[in-house]
Amino acid sequence: MNFEPAGYSLLPIMPEIVLVVGAMLLLLLGAYRGPQTARLVSWLAILLLVVVGALEVLALPSGKLVTFGGSFIVDDFARFLKVLALVGSAVTLILSMEILGDPTRPMFEYGILVLLSSAGMMLLISAGRFDHVVFGLELMSLALYVVAASNREDPKSNEAGMKYFVLGALSSGMLLYAASLIYGFTGTVAFSGIARAATGGSIGVVFGLVFLLAGLCFKVSAVPFHMWTPDVYEGAPTPVTAFFASAPKVAGIAIFTRVTLTAFPGIVPQWQQIVVFVAIASMALGSFAAIGQKNIKRLMAYSAIGHIGFALVGLSAGTVEGAQGVVVYIAIYVAMTLGAFSVILAMRRNGLHVENISDFAGLSRTNPPLAFFFAMLLFSLAGIPPLAGFFAKFYVFMAAIKAGLFALAIIGVVTSVVGAYYYLAIVKVMYFDEPAPGIDKVRLELRGVLAIAGLFNMLFFIYPTPLINAASAAAKSLF
């Protein structure tokens, strides 16, 4: 077997092979031992994700590796975002331990579905051809459809799974139609070949590009294809919502960035117009629509839509600085989101989860540490300095300004100020409203995730160099 990083070598894809084989072995374990192995299977799944992440960073040779005729690419961009997606998947499995330990509905399949979805994310992040994009997207999405409806006794969960499945199928159809149009006018589905052929901006390629970006907007919850997000976030079990808000967003933004910058570098003005519109619409809707929300999960859904808009501000620049801003933004966003969902999962009274914002009333007096860390995460989501969220927005806005997109940067700042209102409103409820009844004792794993995410967001400004340098190397590998 040839293990050179070219041709049809298996070395670049070895972490994905280990992940899929491990998932199959855990499936056999769960099927043999029964549903009560849910927690064991999930802890082994977390260990497997850690091993795969280590393989991705330590076992593969440095530099750019290409295999399967250019359809699978491992570069610094892929390495960074794969590790970030694996971290998101592992942390959401940790956050899910409570529902996995529920004896009334044990689900050993949950951890395996997360593993298979993570394998799809890794394939998607490394995709170098449109057929590989579709394969990675479907592997990622099919598992997500199932976990969205994993609480079969809850009508809202079933509704969430159905809505996500129907609209996900529509987005997949758009992507396939886009790939067929682009293939018809360029004669190839490889990103490198399309980059050579699509330099004149022919009408057929532009039409295919429109359908392509529409399909990708579905996957990352960008306006105007965001309509599934609030209902799915609210209806899915809360740990599943945390999963949707973290790891799949990484994969979606990764392929959004790779496709536009590597497949269509010769027609930047054409796709830049679309991305600018989507960024503005997402930031505006995410800022204004969340103001009237009463359910914290629906609010986080609109928050996610807005943050995707901010990330796309960096992509709109079409430069190395813009790509670096996107990578920095999505990394910090994952940390903020997982920390916030650890607080939402901690809100239990008499063994039942509470999700209304009014249930956070007086939390600063009943559980001061939880209220403090949640407030810091909300300030970070709002982009208040010197927290990590401020630097995330700083890098994407500076990239837009350097690219001459002054109006886009100004709109981003204005919508960021508007969006700060609903984050500060939650802080006001926690610190100034009359206390609601105290919550149950917070589980150890939730406290651990919250502490790590909270400290990262508060202390990021002291030593941001490792993340910034890694993001810079990732961005440069695309150009």
Is pLDDT of 154 > 60? yes
Residue 6: pLDDT band (50, 70, 90) is: very low
Q: Residue 4 has what pLDDT?
A: 47
Distances from the Cα of 358 to the Cα of 284, 362, 426, 440, angstroms: 25, 9, 9, 17
Beta-ladder partners of 348: 353
Residue 177 inside a domain? The answer is no
Work out the burial of residue 2: count CB atoms within 10 Å of its CB; fewer than 13 is exposed, 13-18 middle, 19 or more buried. exposed
DSSP letters, 447-473, are HHHHHHHHHHHHHGGGS-HHHHHHHHH
Is pLDDT of 150 > 70? yes
The 3-state DSSP class for residue 413 equals helix
pLDDT in tens, 291-316: 888 889 899 999 999 999 999 999 99
Residue 435 inside a domain? The answer is yes
Domain with 428, as residue range(s), is 264-479
Residue 478 inside a domain? The answer is yes
Beta-ladder partners of 349: 352
**476 Cβ neighbours under 8 A, 6+ residues apart:** 76, 320
Phi, psi of 274 (to 5 degrees): -65, -45
Residue 8: pLDDT band (50, 70, 90) is: low
Residue 137 inside a domain? The answer is no
pLDDT top residue among 106 and 336:
336
Question: Residue range 201-205: average pLDDT?
Answer: 78
Residue 369 inside a domain? The answer is yes
Residue 279 inside a domain? The answer is yes
Q: Is residue 310 within 8 Å of 329, Cβ to Cβ? A: yes
Distances from the Cα of 290 to the Cα of 40, 156, 298, 348, 428, angstroms: 38, 20, 8, 23, 16
Question: Residue range 103-122: average pLDDT?
Answer: 84
Question: Residue range 82-97: average pLDDT?
Answer: 92
pLDDT top residue among 353 and 19:
19
Q: Is 63 left (phi over 0), alpha (psi -120 to 50) or beta?
A: left
Is pLDDT of 112 > 60? yes
Residue 354 inside a domain? The answer is yes
The total domain count for the chain is 1
pLDDT in tens, 419-454: 899 899 999 988 988 887 777 788 888 889 999 999
pLDDT top residue among 335 and 192:
335
pLDDT top residue among 349 and 245:
245
Question: Residue range 63-92: average pLDDT?
Answer: 90
Residue 119 inside a domain? The answer is no
Q: Residue 365 has what pLDDT?
A: 87
pLDDT in tens, 372-419: 999 999 999 998 989 999 999 999 999 999 998 999 999 999 999 998
Cα(293)–Cα(150) distance, integer angstroms: 25
User: If we measure between CA atoms, which residue out of 203, 218, 205 comes closest to residue 144?
Assistant: 218
Lowest mean pLDDT among 40-54, 94-108, 164-178: 94-108
pTM value > 0.85: yes
